[in-house]
Structure 1
Amino acid sequence: MAIVAMASLVLFLGGNSRAAVAHTCSATDRQFMSVAQLNMAALGSLSEDYLHGDAKPAEVIDQTQSAILGLRNTDPSDPSLSKTRAILRAMFVEYTRAIRADARHKNPGQYIYRAYGLANFAHDVLSDAQPGLMRRGCDVTPLL
């Protein structure tokens, strides 16, 4: 089931194509980049706290839900940023599942594996788009 879901996501999002993309750097693109960067930093910090026993599962889950909502409220016009938005939302869903599994003393491995796979996919999309976005004035380096 997980493989089917991942394959569907890759097909839906277009894979890792090298076709020419018309990049933009609109206000909505910049908003997405800011929201994504803020949520990635917040979740990274809270995840470290969780791993060291300084944060409760509910706090991490609340942060992932906040990140999903924050991304849902963005609408980047750049095709690569739009693709990244969908990937990050899926990544946060998988991370939520991992924390829930861990809190229930279940193995979170499958969810972490998918979350990291999605993170790598987002990284690849952003890396490929970086030169074109930079030419338009959008620096995605903080998201890499």
Structure 2
Amino acid sequence: MQMKLFFSRWAQVAGLFLIGGTLAWAIKLAVIVSTDGRVITTGAAALFMTVGIVLLLIGSTGIGYYLSRNRSMPVRAIAIILSPALVFGSFILIGMVTNPLLQNSSVWYAQQEAPIGVAVILYMAVGYFLLRSGKRDTRYV
């Protein structure tokens, strides 16, 4: 019974995972900026990058769940399975937009980290939307 309730609220639970993943990535970016790019692939930056990837991977399934909520079970399963690939694929698109803007930046790691910064903002908003998707509007009840 509790598992059924858990999965009936998956969009909201996944929203929390997305928010957690974006917070981990925001901390990773803070570590990189505070060390002026000396710590990018090791230590705290690597830890928060890994934690963020795992949380975003789990949380992204909520996007497929939410978008397919009124569909048949096979369609819903496909949407849930494909949503992480689409989310991580969006990072390529974000990079294609941000990289030319930062091509001549004096901050050597800006071009590499900018897509992550944009993804933090975008998927924080998506996570918040998913979290709020379960709230009922009680004004008209």
The question of a shared fold, defined as TM-score above 0.5 by the shorter chain, is answered with no
Could you tell me the TM-score, scaled by structure 1's length? Answer: 0.38
Bigger Rg, structure 1 or 2 = 2
Relative contact order: is structure 1 or structure 2 higher (C-alpha 8 Å, sep ≥ 6)? 2
Could you tell me the TM-score, scaled by structure 2's length? Answer: 0.39
